[in-house]
A and B are shown apart, each in its own frame.
Chain A
Amino acid sequence: MLATAALLRRGVSALAALLAWLAGWNYVACALFVTADILGRNLLGVSSAATVEVTGYMLACGIAWALAHTLAVRAHIRVDMLVNRLPVAMRAPLHLVSLLLLGGFAAFIAWAAWELVDESALFDAHDNSALRIPLVVPQGIWAIGLSAFVLMCAVLLLESLLALLLGQPRRLDELLGSRSLQDETAEALEAVGATPGPKA
């Protein structure tokens, strides 16, 4: 049963990673879009007349689509000075409590987002840019990202709960605990080109 839950979690994590990649490339596109707008305005005399709105949507959707992946790689910030000093047996249920709270918060956000989409649909709302983008489009994309975040919380909760019930608190700690020394070092070293600095 735990294995099935783990499989499910891995599947959702893969989906979350895909969403986060899209979110990241969306920022690259955003930078190029604004640069093009600056160049177009100064050199060619053309401007999108919707830069403000479109880049705002790119930010909102970028945040929403990367939330689930950030949770999967345990990068969301927790204040864990107390919890990390406790033995695993006590730590595990606390992890579960904090994930439960996060899941509740995520569900509320996602609900609020879909309500907003609903309201925009009721109003048939458009933005005031030259493109007159229907607000349900960016807000819907945003709400999808937030829903993926809820899904990620849910599968993690399922697996953690099973692990706790089956008496495997260490497994739960690996799922939710702070990222290990190896993860972090590897990542930092990879980013700076794999040269540990001189011992100055």
Chain B
Amino acid sequence: TVPPGPRIAITAVTQPLPTQPQYTLVDQPLLRDGLRARSNGRIEVTLASHGERNLGGAEIIRLVRAGQAEIGAGTLTTLSGDVPILDGIDLSGLAPDIRLARRIADAMTPVANRDLERFGVRILAMYPFPAQVLFCRAPFTSLADLRGRRIRTFGNSLVDFYTALGAQPVSIGFPEVYSALERGVVDCAITGSGSGAAARWPEVSTHISDLPVSWAVAAYVVNLAWYNRLEPAVRALVDDTFREMSDRLWQLGADATRDGIDCNIGNREGCRIHNLAARPMTEVKATDADRAETRRIFEQVVLPGFVRRCGARCGEIYNQVIAPLSGVRFGG
């Protein structure tokens, strides 16, 4: 229901790789093709992945802010270097299930936007990747077994989390993780269950945990000046599209989490989105003790670490917005 008018060209730089299901199942059909169809061809979206634009992912907010793209997307942990409050939405051990993760993300979006609008950008929607789980090249049965292992992590809250377990966080670029696992440079690495399947990690690791440590929550950001200049009808269409994408992506996150594990452990029936592993892995089911330990570490180590990095204001925001949902308060 967009009235006729001049053509609107939009550049959107979204997922890290063009092969990711978030890109092929949501960005391409809804953002690119959907906007064009529903605007009767007025909106033309040029879609690109980070890789195609030679971007690392941490600079997405600056990219959108500088007017190089109208829309960008990136994971909050990666973006938190520029906007620390974003890290609080996806702390390690914060959300044991994806429903809670979504409620936290939805509650925090307006809060995060207060910070972001100072920089001329705004979040239109948040969405998850499959649960971030541990891939190891040697057997383990519980979190306690990870003591002393070298674990490839990224971002501060994961470093805090595994350090608290007595493991040794190792800093290696994502691209090198495959060979690092293959050669034993690291013992374990953490990534999305489905991302590990896509990256063929089952070829180089044997055991996969089903305990979601975090969700790699990501956000679509828009250039605020551009967004405010849009015709009301077009802006409404963009808002609707992102609401629909967000629903689709949270559903995809839930489906892809189990699907990724099923693909990695060679369960053919459950494996529909990713590729079935040629060498099935062993699934390590989390025990109640593991879940309790995760919560303890979150409360005692990860959350205080986040507030230390982000500042006292972040602790207050956490207690106001997230604590009622998660049931864990900062500072007791």
A and B touch in the complex (CB under 8 A): yes
Q: How far is the CA of A192 from the CA of B156 in the complex (A)?
A: 47
Q: For residue B174, which residue of chain A has the nearest CB? A: A52
Tell me if B171 and A122 are in contact (CB < 8 A): no
A129 sits at the interface (CB 8 A):
yes
Contact A47 B169 (CB under 8 A): yes
CA distance A132 to B171 in the complex (A): 13
Chain B contributes a number of interface residues (CB within 8 A of A) equal to: 26
- Chain B residues within 8 Å of A26, by CB: none
| Docked pose: A123 CA to B61 CA in angstroms | 10
Check if B172 sits within 8 Å of A125, measured CB to CB. Answer: no
Q: Provide the B134-164 mask, 1 if CB < 8 A to any CB of A, else 0.
A: 0000000000000010100111100100000
A49 within 8 A of B: yes
- Chain A, interface size category, equals 20 to 34
Q: A50, B171: Cβ atoms under 8 Å?
A: yes
Residues in B whose Cβ lies below 8 Å from that of A47: 150, 168-171
B169, A132: Cβ atoms closer than 8 Å = no
Minimum C-beta distance from B154 to chain A (A):
7
Whether B148 lies near A132 (C-beta < 8 A) is no
| Number of interchain pairs (Cβ within 8 Å) | 55
Rounded to whole angstroms, the CA-CA distance of A131 and B148 in the bound complex is 21
Report the minimal beta-carbon distance from B256 to chain A, rounded to whole angstroms.
24
With A45-B148, A130-B156 in contact, do A125 and B81 touch (Cβ < 8 Å)? yes
Partner of A45, one of B78, B84, B156, B168: B168
Q: Which of B77, B80, B159 contacts A130 (CB 8 A)?
A: B159
Residues of B within 8 A of A128 (CB): 58, 77-78, 80-81, 154-156
Taking a contact as CB atoms under 8 Å apart, the answer to whether A129 and B171 are in contact is yes
In the complex, the answer to whether B81 meets A126 with C-beta atoms within 8 Å is yes
Task: Spell out A's residues near B (CB within 8 Å).
Answer: 41, 45-53, 119, 122-130, 132, 135
- B residues near A (Cβ < 8 Å) are 58, 61-62, 77-78, 80-84, 119, 148, 150, 153-156, 159, 168-173, 185, 309
Across the A-B interface, the 8 shortest Cβ-Cβ residue pairs: A123-B82, A49-B171, A125-B82, A52-B171, A51-B171, A49-B169, A47-B170, A130-B159
